[in-house]
Structure 1
Amino acid sequence: MASKNRHLLANISVFGISQLKYQSPYMVAWWSAVFPGFGHYLLCQYLRGTLLTLAEVIINTLAHINEAMVYSFSGQFELAKSVIEPKWAFGYLAIYLIAVGDSFRSAIYQNKLHQLALLEYKGNHTVHISPIEIQYIEKKNPLIGALYSFFFPGLGQLYNQRFGLAFYAMFWWWIYLILSNFHESILFLWHGRLEDSISILHPHWLLFMPSVLFGSIYFTYRTTIEHNRLFQIEQQHYLMKRYQQARLRIFS
């Protein structure tokens, strides 16, 4: 039974599947650098990942980090320096660096726990039934999940049955779309009004969107692969346990 495992490989709850998995610490740290909190999502540390993403949006907004980046990219360094709010920027830098370092350290340790969990594996629950939700291990197509996230971040997480994170991501994607005026900009561009399309965009909120979009795609793709691997591990363990004493006869 899964309860006898000293190191549990995975857990199925009402919110979805959380599992130990082998990952490159450098890739995890990279996604933390792209958007603080994303690296912790890859490690299934959803609470701290959510708090870090909230901190990124709130403190970035108060410190005007994205506006300063836009001015820097366009060579307007004096404007970049003038728009930065120092009392928030220093705190933002500290949280940013610690988030990257913490995700890197956690990834290294989780890789060790993953190896121990595999060595001690004695089976895992495959279905969780509660009054409000049914969760289960199922094989799925990683490309389908990534495609869902491409069309609207959050849908890929819904595909993987992580519905809490799915609706959190969908909520924030709507916020970014509305505050950046992205849809209005696309309409102007569609009608050939290029200058209006550019002028209506809000750069601060627009700069969040590429990180969120591609982060959601990558997270969904990797999560689907790991769920499939967990399905295979559980199926292999069950079949070995169920048929280890059986004698297969092809010819009588």
Structure 2
Amino acid sequence: MDKRNPLMSILWSLFMPGLGQLYIHRIIVAFFIVTWTVVFFYYSHLLEAISLLFLGEIPKATNVLNAEWLLFFPSLYGFATYDAYINTVENNKLAEKEQKTFLEKNYQHPDFYIEKEKR
């Protein structure tokens, strides 16, 4: 287990939903999110509208968009970003705990004890 940077998982998820999950090795969740991202891109015709915007054909770009499918993107991006961040933080806590347990088990003398401070 290794520690990951939570901000990097946020940046990857903002770039493309699902990449933050791939960054922290959550393959099944990443596959689910990437699949739904592709479905939303396909049915909303967003990529087609973006290419029409670059060509300067604004009325065609607005007509080609399907607003019902387009409105799924904020929740998809929000979920992917939040999930990647929270799971990165939790995986980091788990990695620290596992490392502490491993070091105590393999390198610390069994009779070693630290007393708490008395106030």
TM-score normalized with structure 1 length: 0.41
Listed one character per residue, the Cα deviations across residues 161-185 of structure 1 (whole Å, up to 9, x for unaligned) are 1111111111111010010000011
Counterpart of 2:108, as a letter, is Y
Out of 141, 146, 152, the position equivalent to 2:5 is: 141
Cα distance in 2 for residues equivalent to 1:213 and 1:155: 11
Name the residue aligned to 1:187.
Answer: 51
| Offset of residue 143 of structure 1 | 1.5
Cα distance in 2 for residues equivalent to 1:225 and 1:153: 18
Name the residue aligned to 1:231.
Answer: 95
Out of 95, 108, 111, the position equivalent to 1:243 is: 108
The reply on whether 1:213 has 2:90 as its aligned counterpart is: no
- 1:101-140 pair list within 5 angstroms: 137-140=1-4
Out of 48, 59, 64, the position equivalent to 1:200 is: 64
Listed one character per residue, the Cα deviations across residues 196-221 of structure 1 (whole Å, up to 9, x for unaligned) are 22221101111111110121011101
Cα distance in 1 for residues equivalent to 2:111 and 2:25: 36
Cα distance in 1 for residues equivalent to 2:101 and 2:109: 10
Counterpart of 1:243, as a letter, is Q
Name the residue aligned to 2:117.
Answer: none
Higher helix share: 2
Count, aligned residues = 111
Name the residue aligned to 1:165.
Answer: 29
Q: CA RMSD of the aligned region, Å?
A: 1.7
- 1:39-54 pair list within 5 angstroms: none
Cα distance in 2 for residues equivalent to 1:207 and 1:157: 22
Unaligned segments of structure 2, at least 5 residues: 113-119
Give the % identical residues: 36
Higher strand share: 1
TM-score normalized with structure 2 length: 0.83
Higher relative contact order (CA 8 A, sep 6+): 2
| Offset of residue 152 of structure 1 | 1.5
